[in-house]
């Protein structure tokens, strides 16, 4: 739990390094301590392996005017020391998973990631997670894109490649973890839940005492007694300026000035990304794609590729950070309230646009729509199978129509904007309009919605498929079996109307 230290006035956060045995956790912390110019404390080692934890103290950077005190802790990887590991992970504000990425060892990292997923996601706000892809200099190291493919379905996580023995990437992974921890701190502060007082643990000796006390209470007798406290090492280095921009800037003639092109930056200030933890992780993923937004004739900005869309409306430009932040907060609330309607993998960002201005962006992970599913089925499906797809799409569209109407979001309900997974709750997969359109959810009668969306589909079938009569007949039989179904009646009528004249 992050804490504002009431005696010293600093913000205390804890970054915990986890990983499979021998993945490089201790090597990472030793290298990191050397790079930061601070000391490292390891209460006990046995055959070069950590038995309790490694501890590094680091003070640097500011958060809302307070210095940031980072407690950097590694956990023991041995299975017999799981209780110590569990206790340390429970105290994390961000977790760095050190992964041995050699082909012979990478599955162990995936197992740890699956285990960490519920721990990180069940916390509110979630605990940020960084995958430190270690041992990248080994000839047997798995390619980065293969790692990304393997973890994509487990949990949102940023990947930082490292060689702990040389220090390459180690500091970068740590700094990113601190950013995630501070995103979590900001969310807690906004909710009035940021703790102020003395931290439960304020040094390695106190942590060791806490662990040994817990083990004694559980009937475990540790074979080690604390050593005298070591003299603390001096540390004066700063990470970076982490507080959000606050100074007001002079408004300009926005439409006349050339804008700075948006470049996704996972190290941008806290408070400018939503959601505060997952958003930064997704931004780290997107930053590697080399997508450059272009301006449309309407003044919007747009980019698409590699499974992502960027978009910013022409109106989403603000003369200063304060105005942009208010808009960001409004959008964040809207997304949070309607998360059951919207697809996952959405991020809202307030980015500098030059000349003191700020632009609101949305990053949306691409998901298959009903229209795309039907277009794919048109190419290969037999008539009966194709009709099943049409029925499923119609029913999914109507479920989405109901959810969108109840949400009052003002977003369009079409085959292009509804998710294609028939077995799951429908989600809106399109871009969010900058200004809600009260009529966009299509509040007409359901037959009109189905007719509008399926008429072009069925006309295309009648034109391009020689077996269209079988398709039309199958839809007619559906209507005969379910005469009370509005979807069956409407699609049978539309299919008949789409029949080519002879």
The DSSP annotation for 340-375 comes to TTBPS-EEEEEEEEETTEEEEEEEEE---BHHHHHH
Burial 315-330 (b: 16+ CB within 10 A, else e): ebbbbbbebbbebbee
Q: What is the pLDDT of residues 169-207, one digit of tens each?
A: 999 999 999 999 999 999 999 889 999 999 889 899 999
Closest to 324 (Cα-Cα) out of 421, 419, 249: 249
214 — pLDDT class (breaks 50, 70, 90) = confident
- What is residue 254's predicted lDDT score, i.e. its pLDDT? 40
**Contact indicator for 383, 411 with CB cutoff of 8 Å:** no
CB 43 within 8 A of CB 215: no
What does the angle CA 337 – CA 340 – CA 342 come to, to the nearest 5 degrees? Answer: 90
- For residues 271-285, give the mean pLDDT: 91
Q: Any residues with CB less than 8 A from the CB of 368 and at least 6 apart, and which?
A: 419, 420, 421, 429
Q: What is each CA distance from 414 to 30, 189, 259, 352, 386, in whole angstroms?
A: 55, 39, 33, 33, 19
pLDDT band of residue 270 (cuts 50, 70, 90) is confident
Range in 44-48, 118-122, 128-132, 359-363 the model is least confident about = 44-48
Q: What is the pLDDT of residue 53?
A: 86
Is 258 a residue whose pLDDT tops 70? yes
Q: Is the dihedral of CA 123, 216, 69, 4 positive or negative?
A: positive
The token duo for 164 is 């702990």
Of the pLDDT bands very low, low, confident and very high (cuts 50, 70, 90), residue 412 is confident
Q: Report the share of the chain in percent with pLDDT over 90.
A: 57
Q: Is 163 helix (H, G, I), strand (E, B) or coil?
A: strand
Asked if pLDDT for residue 228 goes beyond 60, the answer is: no
Bridge partner list, 357:
354
Q: pLDDT digit string (tens) for 341-356? A: 999 989 999 999 998 9
* Mean pLDDT of all residues in 224-253: 35
Mean pLDDT of the region 217-243? 41
Q: What is the predicted pLDDT for the residue at 179?
A: 94
pLDDT score for 380: 82
Per DSSP, 252 falls in state -
Burial, 426: exposed, middle or buried (Cβ in 10 Å; 0-12, 13-18, 19+)? buried
Residue 300 has pLDDT above 70, yes or no: yes
8 A C-beta contact, residue 354 and residue 319: no
Instruction: Give the pLDDT band (50/70/90) at residue 492.
Output: very high
| Across 5-19, 57-71, 235-249, 378-392, least confident range | 235-249
Question: What is the C-alpha to C-alpha distance for residues 175 and 290, in angstroms, rounded to an integer?
Answer: 22
Instruction: State residue 288's pLDDT score.
Output: 87
pLDDT at 213: 83
- 123 is written with which tokens? 């916390």
Average pLDDT over residues 112-121: 91
> Does the pLDDT of residue 89 top 60, yes or no?
yes
What percentage of the chain carries pLDDT values higher than 70? 88
Determine the pLDDT at residue 437: 61
Q: What is the rounded CA–CA span in Å between residue 459 and residue 205? A: 75
pLDDT tier, 166 (very low <50, low <70, confident <90, very high otherwise) = very high
Assign 270 to helix, strand or coil.
Answer: coil
Q: How far apart are the first and last CA of the chain?
A: 74
Distance CA(57)–CA(207), nearest Å, equals: 13
Q: What is the pLDDT of residues 432-449, one digit of tens each?
A: 988 766 555 445 578 999
Query: If you average pLDDT over residues 317-332, what whole number do you get?
Result: 93
Q: What is the pTM of this model?
A: 0.74
pLDDT at 155: 84
Judging by DSSP bridges, how do beta strands 195-197 and 3-5 pair with one another? parallel
Gap between the Cα atoms of 131 and 148, Å rounded: 10
Residue among 326, 327, 322 nearest 312 (CA):
327
Residue 48 confidence (pLDDT) above 70: no
Average pLDDT across the chain, whole number: 85
Q: pLDDT band at residue 502, thresholds of 50, 70 and 90?
A: low
pLDDT at 358 over 90: yes
What is d(CA 20, CA 77) in angstroms, rounded to the nearest whole number?
6
């Amino acid at each position: 739990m992050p804490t504002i230290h009431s005696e010293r006035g600093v913000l205390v956060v804890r970054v915990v390094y986890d990983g499979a045995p021998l993945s490089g956790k201790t090597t990472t912390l030793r290298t990191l301590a050397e790079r930061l110019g601070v000391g490292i404390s390891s209460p006990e080692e046995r055959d070069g392996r950590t038995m309790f934890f490694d501890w590094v103290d680091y003070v640097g950077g500011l958060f809302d005017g307070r210095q940031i005190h980072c407690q950097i802790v590694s956990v023991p990887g041995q299975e017999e020391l799981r209780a110590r590991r569990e206790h340390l992970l429970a105290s994390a504000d961000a977790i760095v998973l050190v992964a041995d990425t050699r082909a012979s060892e990478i599955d162990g990292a995936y197992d740890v990631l699956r285990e960490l997923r519920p721990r990180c996601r069940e916390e509110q706000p979630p605990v940020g997670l960084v995958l430190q892809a270690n041992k990248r200099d080994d000839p047997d190291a798995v390619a980065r894109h293969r790692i990304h493919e393997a973890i994509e379905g487990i949990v949102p996580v940023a990947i930082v490649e490292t060689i702990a023995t040389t220090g390459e990437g180690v500091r970068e992974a740590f700094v990113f973890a601190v950013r995630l921890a501070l995103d979590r701190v900001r969310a807690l502060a906004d909710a009035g839940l940021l703790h102020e007082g003395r931290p439960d643990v304020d040094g390695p000796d106190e942590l060791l005492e806490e662990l040994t006390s817990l083990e004694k209470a559980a009937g475990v007798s540790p074979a080690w007694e604390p050593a005298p406290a070591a003299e603390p090492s001096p540390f004066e280095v700063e990470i970076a300026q982490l507080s959000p921009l606050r100074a007001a800037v002079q408004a300009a003639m926005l439409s006349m000035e050339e804008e700075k092109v948006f470049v996704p930056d996972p190290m941008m200030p806290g408070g400018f990304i939503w959601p505060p933890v997952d958003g930064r992780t997704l931004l780290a993923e997107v930053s590697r794609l080399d997508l450059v937004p272009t301006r449309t004739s309407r003044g919007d900005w747009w980019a698409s590729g590699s499974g992502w869309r960027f978009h910013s409306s022409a109106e989403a430009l603000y003369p200063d950070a304060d105005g942009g932040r208010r808009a960001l907060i409004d959008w964040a609330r809207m997304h949070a309230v309607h998360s059951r309607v919207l697809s996952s993998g959405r991020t809202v960002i307030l980015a500098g646009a030059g000349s003191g201005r700020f632009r609101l962006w949305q990053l949306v992970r691409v998901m298959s729509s009903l229209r795309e599913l039907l277009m794919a089925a048109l190419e290969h499906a037999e008539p009966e199978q194709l009709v099943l797809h049409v029925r499923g799409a119609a029913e999914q569209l109507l479920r989405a129509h109901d959810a969108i109407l109840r949400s009052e979001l003002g977003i369009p309900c079409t085959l292009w904007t509804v998710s294609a997974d028939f077995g799951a709750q429908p989600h809106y997969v399109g871009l969010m309009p900058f200004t809600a359109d009260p009529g966009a959810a299509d509040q007409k009668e359901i037959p009109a919605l189905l007719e509008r969306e399926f008429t072009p589909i069925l006309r295309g079938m009648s034109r391009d498929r020689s077996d269209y009569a079988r398709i039309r007949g199958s839809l007619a039989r559906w209507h005969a079996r379910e005469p009370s179904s509005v979807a069956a009646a409407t699609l049978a009528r539309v299919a008949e109307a789409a029949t080519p004249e002879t």
